[in-house]
């Protein structure tokens, strides 16, 4: 296969190995040696593809964020183009929860990276954004659809942010609290009920919750 594809393939297999090592033993378990062993490559080649520990940690974090984005795309694609704003927001929120083993591993790694940025030395706050802005924007876009052109943009933004903060808290809480995990989608539906009162239900912020005709879900990963 062509050189570049080969190169990308190698990098992916190394970040994949790093993810497994970190999910098992935490950030300190990830060394050139342990990652090389897990990936079945030489320490020299890990050093070739990633010059420093910081570099392969950042690449691993990026890989996890991209993987989560891909999962969201898949979930939205399954909804189809006629999906309403509420269905789309729900798919985004549920898609952010660690409900299967791969997404659970991603959530564990994001939790570990978050903690690592709090004390360093390998990572700083700027390295690991909280919820990527494109996700806040994807939720806000659906709230605009739902509330129409006259809706207050500041309110839409705040609704998207608090909703995603709750889901971020839930995603991490589920990892250690099985009771919470078992009620996760129920809690997401309650959150939706609060932030997007259904049609007919009254809200100070939207014109009765009427939906404009369906538009295809928009979620573009940067």
> Residues in the site for a second copy, rule: CB under 8 A?
22-26, 28-29, 108, 111-112, 114-119, 125, 128-131, 155, 158-159, 161-170, 172-173, 175-177, 180, 186-187, 190-191, 194-195, 197, 201-204
The residue among 41 and 192 lying less far from a second copy, judged by its C-beta, is 192
For the CB of residue 82, give the shortest distance to a second copy in the complex, in Å. 27
Unique residue bearing structure tokens 């909280």: 130
How far apart are alpha carbons 88 and 93 in whole angstroms? 9
For the CB of residue 96, give the shortest distance to a second copy in the complex, in Å. 11
DSSP code of 23? H
For the CB of residue 10, give the shortest distance to a second copy in the complex, in Å. 26
The residue among 173 and 214 lying less far from a second copy, judged by its C-beta, is 173
Task: Kindly list the distances between the CA atom of residue 98 and the CA atoms of 16, 93, 104, 184, 215, in Å, as whole numbers in the listed order.
Answer: 18, 11, 4, 9, 28
Task: Kindly list the distances between the CA atom of residue 104 and the CA atoms of 30, 69, 96, 173, 196, in Å, as whole numbers in the listed order.
Answer: 19, 14, 10, 12, 27
The residue among 122 and 217 lying less far from a second copy, judged by its C-beta, is 122
* Residue 26 in tokens: 């935490």
The residue among 3 and 176 lying less far from a second copy, judged by its C-beta, is 176
For the CB of residue 38, give the shortest distance to a second copy in the complex, in Å. 15
Nearest alpha carbon to residue 145 among 87, 76, 71:
87
For the CB of residue 72, give the shortest distance to a second copy in the complex, in Å. 18
How far apart are alpha carbons 97 and 116 in whole angstroms? 21
For the CB of residue 74, give the shortest distance to a second copy in the complex, in Å. 24
The residue among 82 and 115 lying less far from a second copy, judged by its C-beta, is 115
Task: Kindly list the distances between the CA atom of residue 9 and the CA atoms of 12, 19, 102, 106, in Å, as whole numbers in the listed order.
Answer: 5, 15, 19, 20
The residue among 16 and 173 lying less far from a second copy, judged by its C-beta, is 173
Task: Kindly list the distances between the CA atom of residue 166 and the CA atoms of 153, 157, 169, 188, in Å, as whole numbers in the listed order.
Answer: 20, 14, 5, 9
């Amino acid at each position: 296969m062509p050189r570049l594809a080969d190169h990308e393939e190698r990098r992916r297999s190394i970040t994949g190995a790093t993810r497994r090592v970190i999910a098992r033993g935490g950030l300190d378990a990830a060394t050139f040696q342990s990652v090389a062993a897990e990936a079945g490559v030489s320490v020299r080649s890990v050093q070739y593809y990633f010059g420093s520990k910081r570099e392969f940690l950042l690449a691993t974090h990026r890989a996890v964020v991209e993987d989560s984005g891909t999962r969201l795309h898949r979930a939205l694609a399954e909804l189809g183009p006629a999906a309403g704003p509420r269905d789309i927001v729900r798919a985004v929120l549920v898609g952010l929860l660690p409900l299967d083993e791969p997404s659970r591993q991603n959530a564990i790694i994001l939790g570990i990276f978050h903690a690592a940025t709090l004390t360093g030395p390998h990572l700083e706050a700027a390295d690991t954004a909280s919820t990527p802005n494109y996700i806040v924007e994807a939720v806000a876009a659906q709230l605009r659809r739902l509330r129409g052109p006259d809706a207050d943009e500041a309110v839409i933004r705040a609704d998207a942010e608090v909703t995603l903060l709750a889901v971020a808290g839930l995603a991490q809480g589920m990892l250690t609290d099985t009771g919470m995990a078992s009620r996760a989608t129920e809690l997401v539906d309650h959150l939706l009920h609060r932030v997007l009162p259904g049609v007919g239900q009254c809200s100070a912020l939207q014109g009765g919750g009427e939906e404009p005709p369906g538009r295809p879900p928009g979620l573009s990963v940067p």
